[in-house]
Chain A
Amino acid sequence: MKLINPFSDLIEKDPDQNDISYLMMIALVIFMVVLSETALVFSTGGAFLLVSNLFYFPLILLNLKFFTKGLSTSTAIGLIYFLIAVFLVNFDIEGLLIGFSMMLTYIAVGISISMISKTSNESKKTLIKSISNYENLFEEIQDAIIVYDSEGLILGVNNAASTLLGLEKKYVRFLKIDDLKNFIDEDALKKAFYDVSLSGSGFTDTELRQSDGNIVYIEIHSSIIDSSKGVMRAYIRDVTDRVIAEKKIIASETRYRHLTNQLPEMIFELDIDGNFCFATRYSINIAGRTPEELSGGLKLWDVLVEEDRDRARKNLEWFFKGMFLGAVEYRVKKPDGSIIPVLVHFSYDFDDDSSVRGIKGIAMDISQRKRMEMALRRNEKKFRSLFENSNDAVIIFNRDGMIMDINTRLCNMLGIKRDEAVSQDLKCRFPESEWDKVSGMYEVSSSGGIFFESRMQHREGDYIDVEISSGIIDPEEGLYQAILRDISERKRGEVELAVSRERLNLAIEGAGVCVWDWDIERDEMYFEGNYDEMFGQVKEHTDRSGSMWREILQQEFYKIIMDYYADNGNSSSTISDLKSKQFESEYKFKTETGLNRWITVLGKVVDCDSDGNPVRIAGIMQDVSDKRMYQDALYEANKKLNLLSSITRHDILNQIAGVRGFTDILSKRLPEENSELQHYLDRIKKATSNIQEQITFTRDYQNIGVETPSWQNLEKIIESSRSKAQLRNIAFFNDCRGLEIYADPMIEKIFFNLLDNTIRHGGDVTEIEVKCRKNSDCLTIIFRDNGKGVSCDLKEKIFDHGYGSNTGLGLFLVREILGITGMGISEVGEPGKGAVFEIQIPADHAREVR
């Protein structure tokens, strides 16, 4: 079955048939016919006219049939007519002319007809060929084409459509558009095939399910072919590859966007007017903008600081003119006012037709770099300042030993100017003997450095001792730096120190002491001096590491310090006090030979940690065995003397008892009239009584200096003295509270004596007051009564031995007892207004009770 040619009725006539040349030729022929016919009428009349016109029939028929031979055919007929006209009708000139004109007319008409016929025939052939071409094109075109009418009847499909639908053409021929629902979504079908009748053309892209189940993406372009017949045509293009490619592109684009959004660079696109078309999230965040702001016509320069905006506009202008910009720095100003420096690289954004449609830009936040640059500049400045203001001399030189720079300190040290030294050989500044060392400075590796002592030469020729620390500062450039310190003073100091050290050693040796230093934090202990001489024979002593002394110092002596620390609280003043206080303790040991050894340990807290705990203690140890032996002997002697004193006192008092007893007996037996003997007996009694008092007095003071001084509560001492004194109606006020004094245990006797003195010699005393006054130098105890006082001439005499109405020892011994611990006493009262005794106690012999 032959398919209908969907184009056969649609081919238009060839427009060449209406060509003007044909029209002119026809006009000419008609003119010639009219002219010849007119001439024929006028010359021959109607019969010959009829005969003449009969020649047109064969002429037309022959030329229509044999249009390729129109000239010959027309010429033949014309000649026949000419011959007939000449020989049969009228053989004259007129006849010749008419015959000849008619012959020409026939030839013209014949040629015209043959030409028209030929042309018509060729047009037909061309048309047929064209239709064939159209058919071939229709079939062979890669797009599927469906021709259908307004009723939806499919008039024809090409091979591509058949292939696309997966159906044979012969089946498609009988389908209707609605039958394509199996392949194309109904809505898309309607839009693609039917809506075209309303708008004249239509376009739809949709999916097509092929008969084998494959899905292909298609575009349907539909249009009206013949509106009068309601014929429409739909091109269906398989765009699966393109759609897949587009999807891939979209996916790729999405991934690109996603990737760019993740990048810590600001990536953006501008149109040719500088408007933002796209910006990564990072860019938006950095610029402190919202996506809406960027898509709302924000321009590049809108996000920049005012000063950069013109430059940005001009840069874009130049860029679009083809100028290479490279990397450009701008400053982005965020809405909150903060400024971010960025480095922007621009590139063209080309359209599909390779025309520039905008700019792509990548901007990097260079805040960090700027800060680093700033820091670098600051560091450079600092380095320069450090270099110039350093207390140490600094010299910079290269690997060839050429001086590159020196600082002011070195200029001053060597007495030279900078320009004199720069570019000189480094060795020039050192004596030749030091050149090997100097060479070593620029032979060190990049990782190393050298430190040595050397000598440099001053401009005036003197040599300066220097300490040099050298190292490489720029391995690539081969630059080295040496820090030089003038150690002339130190050298002199070292010599002096050595001398001083020697003196100290001599002193330590001479004093027979051992110096110890305990670093508590590092648990290290050092002994120096006469350690072996001192402890060599001590049984428990093992070696010089001082294990025994470590225990003693770390336990017993340390405990003394910590007890003091605990007793006095953990205040800053206590820590200061602790560091200024010297602790002392004595320890007894037995030597290998059985002798007792006494060692005095003296120590001070040298350093404390932040909590005030001692971390370093140092001091000396001294063998005080001899001194201790003398002290023991002295103590024993004192005891013996006390015993002797006691026995003697006892015996004397015994004898005094005898003397007094028998004197009484004698006095009673003596006649009263013997007044002279009575008088002598009274003198004996008085003398005996004086002896008794003095002997008794020695009992009270026999222990002066026997017991060691100790800290005693002042208030309690005074109260105790008061309780023993017979104050009777005398009011007593004791204001000395919260104080301790370091004094001889006999101190209580002092106040008793002063009270007793007031009672005995003060006159009408009604009030006694004891109070204290403290200043930085000393504590003053003021003992005041409201008696008759002490006259000016007696203020010192009352402290003399033997002065007074009794033994004359009271105030004398008061001063002596106080003097044992460095205290003093004086009478400062105003005569007639009461006695005022002031006892001065050194500041370190008084403290507050804690």
Chain B
Amino acid sequence: MQDKKILVVEDDTIISELIMWRLKDLGYTRCSFTSSGEDAIIKAREESPDLILMDITLEGDLDGIDSIKEIKKFMPGVPFVFLSSHIEDEIIERALATRPSGYIAKPFEDFELRMGIEIALMK
């Protein structure tokens, strides 16, 4: 599992640093990250990640949900998990409409992150 490539899309550098640190701590060494939806699409096309951890609020014009929709156009089977502090029903409903592998609400524990990633990769 640990050789899987994970693309982290997070606009907050502190959070992205934290996630990267935790992924590394969990043994996922092939990780990359970006802070905008547009970049995420490019990176996904370039790197073909095994899993995408996608925040919903991002830099740029595209949010995480729209970005995933674009990525799924050329990587329809890629698993992705939303990592978001959005807890409003409306946003959650939009996110679930993209059929994600998981939705991890911030703040989250190590355990939650690990289980979210493993379940997504298993699918």
Contact = CB atoms under 8 A, between A and B. Distances in A.
B115 to A, nearest CB: 16
Contacts of B15: 654, 657-658, 661
Contacts of A651: 85
Given A653-B106, A699-B88, A658 B22 contact: no
A650 B18 contact: no
Interface residues of A, number: 21
Interface in B81-114: 84-88, 105-110
Contact of A654 (B21, B85, B88, B110): B85
Interface of A: 646, 649-662, 664-665, 688, 692, 696, 699
Nearest to B19: A661
B87 A657 contact: no
A659 B108 CA distance: 11
Interface residues of B, number: 18
Contacts of A649: 85, 87
A699 B87 contact: yes
A323 B104 CA distance: 135
A668 to B, nearest CB: 9
Interface in B51-104: 57, 84-88
B14 interface: yes
Given A653-B87, A661-B15, 12 more contacts: A649-B85, A651-B85, A653-B107, A654-B12, A654-B85, A656-B107, A657-B15, A657-B107, A658-B14, A658-B15, A660-B107, A665-B18
A646 B12 CA distance: 17
A-side interface mostly: helix
Contacts of A665: 18, 21
Nearest to A688: B107
A650 B107 contact: no
Contacts of A662: 14, 18
A451 to B, nearest CB: 75
CB-based closest 7 A-B pairs: A653-B85, A657-B107, A657-B106, A661-B18, A658-B14, A660-B107, A650-B85
B21 to A, nearest CB: 7
B93 to A, nearest CB: 14
A660 B106 CA distance: 10
Nearest to A651: B85
A699 B109 CA distance: 21
Contacts of B14: 655, 658, 662
10 contacts: A653-B106, A654-B15, A657-B15, A657-B106, A658-B15, A658-B107, A659-B107, A661-B21, A661-B107, A688-B107
A40 B57 CA distance: 217
Nearest to B16: A658
Contact of A657 (B21, B57, B85, B86): B85
Contacts of B108: 657
Most buried by A among B84, B87, B107: B107
B88 A646 contact: yes
A650 B86 contact: yes
Contacts of A659: 107
A652 B105 CA distance: 13
Nearest to A692: B107
Contacts of B105: 653
A73 to B, nearest CB: 191
A558 B97 CA distance: 44
Most buried by B among A650, A659, A688: A650
A675 B110 CA distance: 22
B9 to A, nearest CB: 14
A699 B89 CA distance: 9
A121 B99 CA distance: 183
A659 B17 CA distance: 12
A660 B110 CA distance: 10
Contacts of B12: 654-655, 658
A664 to B, nearest CB: 7
Given A650-B57, A661-B18, A665-B21, A656 B88 contact: no
A154 B84 CA distance: 165
Contacts of A688: 107
A692 B105 CA distance: 11
A739 B108 CA distance: 43
Contacts of B18: 657-658, 661-662, 665
A658 B109 CA distance: 11
B81 to A, nearest CB: 15
Contacts of A661: 15, 18, 21-22, 107
Nearest to A662: B18
A651 B110 CA distance: 20
A655 B109 CA distance: 14
A384 B65 CA distance: 98
B106 A656 contact: yes
A641 B85 CA distance: 18
B52 to A, nearest CB: 18
A803 to B, nearest CB: 25
Nearest to A700: B87
Most buried by B among A646, A652, A661, A662: A661
Nearest to B11: A654
Nearest to A691: B107
Nearest to B113: A661
Nearest to A645: B88
B87 A664 contact: no
Contacts of B21: 661, 665
Contacts of A692: 107
A290 B121 CA distance: 124
A664 B108 CA distance: 11
Contacts of A646: 86, 88
B31 to A, nearest CB: 15
Contacts of B57: 650
Interface in B1-21: 12, 14-15, 18, 21
A664 B88 CA distance: 26
A603 B15 CA distance: 60
A516 to B, nearest CB: 43
A664 B84 CA distance: 19
Nearest to B110: A664
A28 B40 CA distance: 208
B56 to A, nearest CB: 9
Contacts of A652: 85
Nearest to B85: A653
Nearest to A653: B85
B107 A696 contact: no
Contacts of B85: 649-654, 656-657
Nearest to B90: A646
A283 to B, nearest CB: 104
A556 to B, nearest CB: 33
Contacts of B84: 650
Most buried by A among B84, B87, B108: B87
Contacts of A696: 87
Most buried by B among A652, A653, A656: A653
Nearest to B10: A654
A297 B88 CA distance: 118
